[in-house]
Amino acid sequence: MPTQPRSAAPQPRRPRRPSQPRRARTLAVMLGVAAAVVTADAVSKALVLRDLPGRPPVRLLGGLLTLRLTVNPGAAFGVGTSYTAIIALIACGVIVYVIRMAARLRSLSWTIGLGLLLGGAAGNLGDRLFRAPGPLRGSVVDWLNLPHFPWTFNLADAAITCAAVLIGILAVCGVRIDGTSPAAAARETRGEQVTETP
Q: How far apart are CA 138 and CA 189, in angstroms?
A: 50
Q: Out of 41, 127, 157, 178, which one is annotated catalytic? A: 157
Q: How far apart are CA 192 and CA 195, in angstroms?
A: 10
Q: Out of 41, 127, 142, 178, which one is annotated catalytic? A: 142
Active site residue 142: yes
Active site residue 178: no
Instruction: List own/partner pairs for 143-150 with CB under 8 A and 24 or more apart.
Output: 143/44, 143/45, 143/48, 143/52, 143/67, 143/68, 143/69, 143/70, 144/65, 144/66, 144/67, 145/57, 145/65, 145/66, 145/67, 145/68, 146/64, 146/65, 146/66, 147/63, 147/64, 147/66
Among all residues, which ones are annotated catalytic?
A: 142, 157
